[in-house]
Structures are given as C-alpha cells and as structure tokens.
Amino acid sequence: MINLSRSVSAGAPIISEIERRSGQQISACYQCGRCTSTCAGSFAFDYSPHRLMRLLQFGMVEEVLRSRTAQLCLDCMTCSLRCPMSIDVAAVIDTAKAIADEMGFKDTERDLRLFRRGFLKNVRRHGRLHEAGLLSWFNIRTRKFTNDLSLVPLLMRKKKIHVVPPRIRNKHEMRRIFREINGAGKPR
C-alpha cells in the first residue's frame, strides 16, 4: 500500500492507488462525455464525471480529492453503465472519495454524510427504511428541529409515512448482509 500522506504533489502514486482499488484504468477514458450526459446529479457537482476523469488523467489529484462530486454522487451507476469503454466511473469516484477521507480532506457536505449514516443505521435496525425515524433522527442531529415538519400531516394522510417502524422478518439475514457489505456488521 502506498503512503497516503497529506502531500498530493506526487499525484501518480495516488492515481495508481485509485486504479488498484477501483480495478479501473483511468487512462482508458477518451472523454466521450456519455457519463456526464446521463448523470442525474451532475448539475450539482463542481466537476462532471468526465471532467473528474480528465483531472485524474492530467494528475490533478488535489482538485479531485477536494471536489464535491464524490460527496454528492447519487451512486446510481448510470455513468458506469453508459461508458463505451466499460469503465466503472462510479467506482473511480467512490474510491477517490474514500482516499480523500483517509487523507483527512475536509468533508464539505457534512449533512449528506450524516444522512447516509443514519439511513444505513435505520435500515439495519428495522429491516427496511422507517422514514419517520430517519427524519426525526436527522433533524435532531442537524439541529433543524422543524425541518419538513409541515409535510408530516400530508404524508400521513396519504399513508406515505408511518409512525410505527416496520418489523424485521429475518434479523439474521439482515445482519449477514451488513457483515458482507462492510465486514463489521455496523453501518459506517
């Protein structure tokens, strides 16, 4: 494993590490733009998927590691499915985000990370998503106590949100799935 020090002046070792972990060859991207044209979240990114790949090709690692793109990625995998070179662009983006986390780059989208962690905890606990529990947990954690409160009566009337959480039918299966995903059985 390479030394992932804070200095990113030597971008080549980090790019090699991204390629090794993701199993993708970044230089194979020929910038057709299909990944970007089908990306549902690219409007909110600072670098579109094909621009992020290009930055890596040029060795501009620090820009990639500091970008909001990986933090805001919807993980829909459309970019990977549309790539004519069969590059798993989503895996490259996810790997870059993981390396940025390991190197201590500041997470600019704190609420998003908190929401993802709460979502996984919620699913692990209930076997499926319990929206009311997730929203109340998230609002307390972010100190936005009345966030979306006006929507609750409408959602309850339309039976889109339930106060009582669902029951887990097979707790052992749920634990096995989480163990396989991250090894420890606990959400990250």
Q: Mind giving me the DSSP string for 19-40? A: HHHHT--GGG-----HHHHT-S
Per-residue DSSP letter, 45: -
CB 71 within 8 A of CB 107: yes
Q: What pLDDT does residue 15 have?
A: 93
Mean pLDDT by 10 residues, the chain (188 residues): 45 90 96 94 92 95 90 87 95 92 78 81 81 86 83 80 75 77 52
Q: How far is residue 100's CA from residue 118's CA, in Å, rounded to a whole number?
A: 21
- CA end-to-end distance (rounded Å), the chain: 22
Q: What pLDDT does residue 144 have?
A: 85
Q: How far is residue 180's CA from residue 143's CA, in Å, rounded to a whole number?
A: 33
Q: What pLDDT does residue 183 have?
A: 56
Q: How far is residue 3's CA from residue 22's CA, in Å, rounded to a whole number?
A: 17
Q: What pLDDT does residue 22 have?
A: 94
